[in-house]
A and B are shown apart, each in its own frame.
Chain A
Amino acid sequence: MSTEKPKVAFYWCASCGGCEEAVIDLAEDILKVVEAVDIVFWPVALDFKKKDVEAMKDGSIAVSFINGAVRLSEQEEMVKLLRQKSGLVVAFGSCSHLGGIPGLGNFWNKETIFRRAYLTTPSTDNPDGTVPLEKTEVDGKELTLPRFYDTVYTLDQVIDVDYYLPGCAPPPDLIMNALQAILEGKLPPKGAVLSPNKSLCDDCKRNESKPEKLTIKEIKRPWEVELDPEKCFLAQGVICMGPATRTGCGERCIEANMPCRGCFGPTDQVIDQGAKFLSSLASILDTDDEKEIEKIVDTIVDPAGTFYRFSLPSSIFRRRRMEDIK
Chain B
Amino acid sequence: MANEAFEPKLVGFLCNWCSYTGADLAGTARMTYAPNIRIIRVMCSGRVDPQFVLKAFIEGADGVLISGCHPGDCHYQEGNYNALRRHRLLSKMLEQFGIERERFRLEWVSAAEGVKFQQICDEFTEQIKKLGPLNLNGGKDEHREA
Q: Which residues of A are in contact with B by a Cβ distance under 8 Å?
A: 73, 76, 107, 110, 147-151, 270-272, 274-276, 278-279, 281-283, 285, 288, 290, 293-294, 297, 300, 302-305, 307, 315-317, 319-325
Complex contacts, A282 vs chain B, CB 8 Å: 82, 85-86, 88-90
Tell me the dominant secondary structure on chain B's binding face.
Answer: helix
B58 at the interface (CB under 8 A from A): yes
Query: A275 near B50 (CB under 8 angstroms)?
Result: yes
Q: Check A279/B49 contact, CB under 8 A, given A149-B144, A288-B81, A316-B54.
A: yes
Query: A320 near B88 (CB under 8 angstroms)?
Result: no
Complex contacts, B85 vs chain A, CB 8 Å: 282-283, 285, 293
Q: How far apart are the CA atoms of A8 and B83 in the complex, in Å?
A: 50
Q: Check A303/B89 contact, CB under 8 A, given A149-B143, A321-B98.
A: yes
How many B residues touch the partner, as a band?
A: 35 or more
B51 at the interface (CB under 8 A from A): yes
CB interface residues, B 119-146, toward A, < 8 Å? 134-136, 138-144, 146
Task: Kindly name the residue among B53, B58, B84, B134 whose own CB sees the greatest number of chain A CB atoms within 10 A.
Answer: B84
Complex contacts, A294 vs chain B, CB 8 Å: 88
Query: A300 near B82 (CB under 8 angstroms)?
Result: no
Query: A317 near B143 (CB under 8 angstroms)?
Result: no
Complex contacts, A319 vs chain B, CB 8 Å: 139
Q: Check A304/B97 contact, CB under 8 A, given A148-B143, A151-B144.
A: yes
Q: Check A321/B96 contact, CB under 8 A, given A282-B82, A282-B86, A297-B88.
A: no
A-B contact pairs, 8 of them (CB 8 A): A278-B89, A279-B50, A283-B82, A290-B84, A290-B88, A297-B88, A303-B89, A304-B93
Query: B140 near A322 (CB under 8 angstroms)?
Result: yes
Complex contacts, A325 vs chain B, CB 8 Å: 98
Complex contacts, A290 vs chain B, CB 8 Å: 84, 88
In the complex, what's the smallest C-beta–C-beta distance from B73 to chain A, in angstroms? 13
Q: Check A323/B135 contact, CB under 8 A, given A149-B144, A283-B86.
A: yes
